[in-house]
Protein backbone atom coordinates (compact mmCIF):
# COMPACT_ATOMS: atom_id res chain seq x y z
CA UNK A 1 0.00 0.00 0.00
CA UNK A 2 2.83 2.38 0.98
CA UNK A 3 4.60 1.76 -2.35
CA UNK A 4 1.36 2.26 -4.25
CA UNK A 5 0.85 5.60 -2.52
CA UNK A 6 4.36 6.69 -3.38
CA UNK A 7 3.84 5.69 -7.00
CA UNK A 8 0.62 7.72 -7.08
CA UNK A 9 2.35 10.77 -5.67
CA UNK A 10 5.19 10.32 -8.16
CA UNK A 11 2.79 10.10 -11.11
CA UNK A 12 0.96 13.19 -9.90
CA UNK A 13 4.24 15.10 -9.65
CA UNK A 14 5.20 13.99 -13.16
CA UNK A 15 1.80 15.06 -14.43
CA UNK A 16 2.09 18.46 -12.78
CA UNK A 17 5.59 18.93 -14.16
CA UNK A 18 4.39 17.98 -17.63
CA UNK A 19 1.55 20.48 -17.36
CA UNK A 20 3.93 23.28 -16.32
CA UNK A 21 6.35 22.35 -19.09
CA UNK A 22 3.49 22.23 -21.59
CA UNK A 23 2.25 25.68 -20.55
CA UNK A 24 5.77 27.12 -20.70
CA UNK A 25 6.30 25.59 -24.12
CA UNK A 26 2.97 26.98 -25.38
CA UNK A 27 3.80 30.43 -24.03
CA UNK A 28 7.19 30.31 -25.72
CA UNK A 29 5.63 29.31 -29.03
CA UNK A 30 3.01 32.07 -28.72
CA UNK A 31 5.71 34.66 -27.98
CA UNK A 32 7.80 33.49 -30.92
CA UNK A 33 4.72 33.70 -33.15
CA UNK A 34 3.99 37.27 -32.04
CA UNK A 35 7.59 38.30 -32.65
CA UNK A 36 7.42 36.72 -36.11
CA UNK A 37 4.24 38.69 -36.80
CA UNK A 38 5.97 41.94 -35.80
CA UNK A 39 8.75 41.12 -38.25
CA UNK A 40 6.18 40.37 -40.96
CA UNK A 41 4.50 43.70 -40.26
CA UNK A 42 7.85 45.46 -40.67
CA UNK A 43 8.36 43.65 -43.98
CA UNK A 44 4.94 44.81 -45.22
CA UNK A 45 5.74 48.41 -44.32
CA UNK A 46 9.23 48.48 -45.78
CA UNK A 47 9.57 49.74 -49.33
CA UNK A 48 8.17 52.36 -51.69
CA UNK A 49 4.51 52.93 -52.52
CA UNK A 50 2.43 55.02 -54.93
CA UNK A 51 -1.23 56.04 -55.22
CA UNK A 52 -0.84 56.94 -58.91
CA UNK A 53 -3.40 54.38 -60.12
CA UNK A 54 -6.09 55.50 -57.68
CA UNK A 55 -5.43 59.18 -58.39
CA UNK A 56 -5.73 58.57 -62.14
CA UNK A 57 -9.02 56.72 -61.70
CA UNK A 58 -10.51 59.16 -59.15
CA UNK A 59 -8.71 62.49 -59.65
CA UNK A 60 -11.36 64.52 -57.84
CA UNK A 61 -11.05 62.45 -54.66
CA UNK A 62 -7.39 61.44 -54.40
CA UNK A 63 -3.95 62.94 -54.94
CA UNK A 64 -0.96 61.16 -56.43
CA UNK A 65 1.32 60.58 -53.45
CA UNK A 66 4.51 58.67 -52.78
CA UNK A 67 5.50 56.92 -49.57
CA UNK A 68 8.87 55.45 -48.64
CA UNK A 69 9.65 53.44 -45.50
CA UNK A 70 12.99 51.95 -44.43
CA UNK A 71 14.33 50.18 -41.32
CA UNK A 72 16.65 52.17 -39.05
CA UNK A 73 18.58 51.24 -35.88
CA UNK A 74 18.47 47.59 -36.94
CA UNK A 75 20.84 46.54 -34.13
CA UNK A 76 18.44 47.66 -31.40
CA UNK A 77 16.35 45.02 -29.63
CA UNK A 78 13.37 47.28 -28.83
CA UNK A 79 12.18 47.57 -32.43
CA UNK A 80 11.81 47.20 -35.32
CA UNK A 81 12.23 50.94 -35.94
CA UNK A 82 11.21 52.44 -39.29
CA UNK A 83 11.60 55.87 -40.87
CA UNK A 84 8.75 56.89 -43.15
CA UNK A 85 8.18 59.91 -45.36
CA UNK A 86 5.23 60.82 -47.53
CA UNK A 87 5.20 63.38 -50.32
CA UNK A 88 3.23 64.61 -53.31
CA UNK A 89 4.43 62.87 -56.48
CA UNK A 90 5.09 66.30 -57.98
CA UNK A 91 7.71 67.14 -55.32
CA UNK A 92 9.13 64.12 -53.54
CA UNK A 93 12.08 66.15 -52.25
CA UNK A 94 9.81 67.97 -49.79
CA UNK A 95 7.76 65.38 -47.89
CA UNK A 96 4.77 66.76 -46.02
CA UNK A 97 4.83 63.95 -43.45
CA UNK A 98 7.87 62.40 -41.78
CA UNK A 99 7.60 59.95 -38.93
CA UNK A 100 9.47 57.22 -37.09
CA UNK A 101 7.54 54.08 -36.18
CA UNK A 102 8.46 51.69 -33.40
CA UNK A 103 6.77 48.32 -33.86
CA UNK A 104 6.05 45.97 -31.01
CA UNK A 105 3.49 44.00 -29.05
CA UNK A 106 0.94 45.92 -27.00
CA UNK A 107 -1.67 44.95 -24.45
CA UNK A 108 -3.66 41.78 -25.12
CA UNK A 109 -0.92 40.75 -27.58
CA UNK A 110 -2.18 43.20 -30.21
CA UNK A 111 0.54 44.49 -32.53
CA UNK A 112 1.20 48.20 -32.19
CA UNK A 113 3.07 50.92 -34.01
CA UNK A 114 4.10 53.88 -31.88
CA UNK A 115 4.43 57.11 -33.86
CA UNK A 116 7.23 59.62 -33.29
CA UNK A 117 8.12 62.96 -34.83
CA UNK A 118 11.66 64.11 -35.53
CA UNK A 119 13.50 66.84 -33.65
CA UNK A 120 14.13 70.26 -35.20
CA UNK A 121 13.41 70.82 -38.89
CA UNK A 122 12.05 67.50 -40.14
CA UNK A 123 12.94 68.42 -43.74
CA UNK A 124 16.58 68.13 -42.75
CA UNK A 125 15.96 64.36 -42.69
CA UNK A 126 14.24 64.24 -46.10
CA UNK A 127 15.76 61.59 -48.33
CA UNK A 128 17.62 59.90 -45.50
CA UNK A 129 15.88 56.68 -46.46
CA UNK A 130 18.58 56.38 -49.16
CA UNK A 131 21.25 56.19 -46.44
CA UNK A 132 19.48 55.01 -43.26
CA UNK A 133 22.81 54.68 -41.46
CA UNK A 134 22.68 58.46 -41.10
CA UNK A 135 20.12 57.85 -38.34
CA UNK A 136 22.92 56.33 -36.28
CA UNK A 137 23.71 59.87 -35.12
CA UNK A 138 20.15 60.28 -33.85
CA UNK A 139 18.93 58.61 -30.65
CA UNK A 140 15.38 57.38 -29.97
CA UNK A 141 15.14 59.57 -26.87
CA UNK A 142 15.54 62.61 -29.14
CA UNK A 143 12.25 61.77 -30.83
CA UNK A 144 8.84 62.99 -29.71
CA UNK A 145 6.13 60.41 -29.09
CA UNK A 146 2.75 61.36 -30.51
CA UNK A 147 0.56 60.47 -27.56
CA UNK A 148 -2.74 58.88 -28.52
CA UNK A 149 -1.59 58.26 -32.11
CA UNK A 150 -0.40 54.67 -31.69
CA UNK A 151 -1.81 52.38 -34.38
CA UNK A 152 -3.02 48.95 -33.24
CA UNK A 153 -3.09 46.13 -35.78
CA UNK A 154 -4.47 42.61 -35.89
CA UNK A 155 -3.33 39.90 -38.35
CA UNK A 156 -6.13 38.77 -40.67
CA UNK A 157 -5.03 36.07 -43.13
CA UNK A 158 -2.32 37.74 -45.25
CA UNK A 159 -3.20 41.26 -44.03
CA UNK A 160 -2.89 43.47 -40.97
CA UNK A 161 -5.93 45.59 -40.11
CA UNK A 162 -6.41 48.28 -37.49
CA UNK A 163 -5.97 51.92 -36.61
CA UNK A 164 -5.86 54.46 -33.83
CA UNK A 165 -8.26 54.31 -30.91
CA UNK A 166 -10.47 57.15 -29.74
CA UNK A 167 -9.86 60.87 -30.17
CA UNK A 168 -6.62 61.40 -28.24
CA UNK A 169 -4.38 61.89 -31.29
CA UNK A 170 -4.30 65.68 -31.43
CA UNK A 171 -4.07 67.57 -34.73
CA UNK A 172 -3.44 71.25 -35.43
CA UNK A 173 -3.83 70.94 -39.18
CA UNK A 174 -6.51 73.34 -40.41
CA UNK A 175 -9.26 73.63 -37.84
CA UNK A 176 -9.02 70.00 -36.70
CA UNK A 177 -8.63 69.17 -33.03
CA UNK A 178 -7.85 65.46 -33.38
CA UNK A 179 -7.00 62.88 -36.04
CA UNK A 180 -7.76 59.24 -36.68
CA UNK A 181 -6.00 56.68 -38.83
CA UNK A 182 -7.31 53.45 -40.29
CA UNK A 183 -4.94 51.04 -42.00
CA UNK A 184 -4.89 47.79 -43.93
CA UNK A 185 -1.50 46.36 -44.88
CA UNK A 186 -1.18 43.79 -47.64
CA UNK A 187 1.92 42.27 -49.24
CA UNK A 188 1.41 44.38 -52.38
CA UNK A 189 -0.21 47.57 -51.04
CA UNK A 190 -1.18 49.77 -48.11
CA UNK A 191 -4.65 51.21 -47.61
CA UNK A 192 -4.49 54.22 -45.30
CA UNK A 193 -7.27 56.56 -44.29
CA UNK A 194 -6.08 59.51 -42.23
CA UNK A 195 -8.68 62.09 -41.25
CA UNK A 196 -8.82 65.19 -39.10
CA UNK A 197 -11.87 66.03 -36.99
CA UNK A 198 -13.23 69.17 -35.40
CA UNK A 199 -14.47 69.37 -31.83
CA UNK A 200 -18.01 68.65 -33.05
CA UNK A 201 -16.76 65.46 -34.77
CA UNK A 202 -17.23 66.82 -38.28
CA UNK A 203 -14.43 66.06 -40.72
CA UNK A 204 -11.86 68.82 -41.22
CA UNK A 205 -9.39 67.20 -43.62
CA UNK A 206 -8.56 63.92 -45.34
CA UNK A 207 -10.20 61.78 -48.00
CA UNK A 208 -13.97 61.48 -47.69
CA UNK A 209 -14.66 58.49 -49.95
CA UNK A 210 -12.35 55.96 -48.34
CA UNK A 211 -8.69 55.28 -47.76
CA UNK A 212 -5.78 55.85 -50.09
CA UNK A 213 -4.75 52.70 -51.96
CA UNK A 214 -0.98 52.94 -52.18
CA UNK A 215 0.53 50.24 -54.37
CA UNK A 216 4.01 48.84 -53.83
CA UNK A 217 6.53 50.04 -56.41
CA UNK A 218 10.29 49.61 -56.86
CA UNK A 219 12.37 51.70 -54.48
CA UNK A 220 13.49 54.86 -56.32
CA UNK A 221 17.20 55.41 -56.86
Convert the pLDDT of each residue in 85-108 to its tens digit.
999 999 999 999 999 999 999 877
Q: Cβ contacts of residue 134 below 8 Å, gap of 6+?
A: 128
Angle 76-83-30 from CA coordinates, rounded to 5°: 50
- What does each of the 221 residues of the chain score in pLDDT, given as a tens digit? 555 555 555 655 566 555 555 555 655 555 665 788 999 999 999 999 999 999 999 999 999 999 999 999 999 989 899 999 999 999 999 999 999 999 999 877 789 999 999 999 999 999 999 999 999 999 999 999 999 999 999 999 899 999 999 999 999 888 999 999 999 999 999 999 999 999 999 999 999 999 999 999 999 87
Tell me how crowded residue 92 is: count the other CB atoms within 10 A of its CB. 17
Cα separation, 28 vs 25, in Å, equals 5
Residue 181 backbone dihedrals phi, psi, to 5 degrees: -140, 130
Q: Is 179 exposed, middle or buried (0-12, 13-18, 19+ CB in 10 A)?
A: buried
pTM score, whole prediction? 0.84
Amino acid sequence: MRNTKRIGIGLAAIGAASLVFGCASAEKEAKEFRIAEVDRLATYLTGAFSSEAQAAALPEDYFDIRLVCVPIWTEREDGPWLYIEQAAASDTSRPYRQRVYQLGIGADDVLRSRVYTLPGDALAYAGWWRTPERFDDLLPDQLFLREGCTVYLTPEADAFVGGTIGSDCTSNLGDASYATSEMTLLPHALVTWDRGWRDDDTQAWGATEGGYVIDRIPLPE
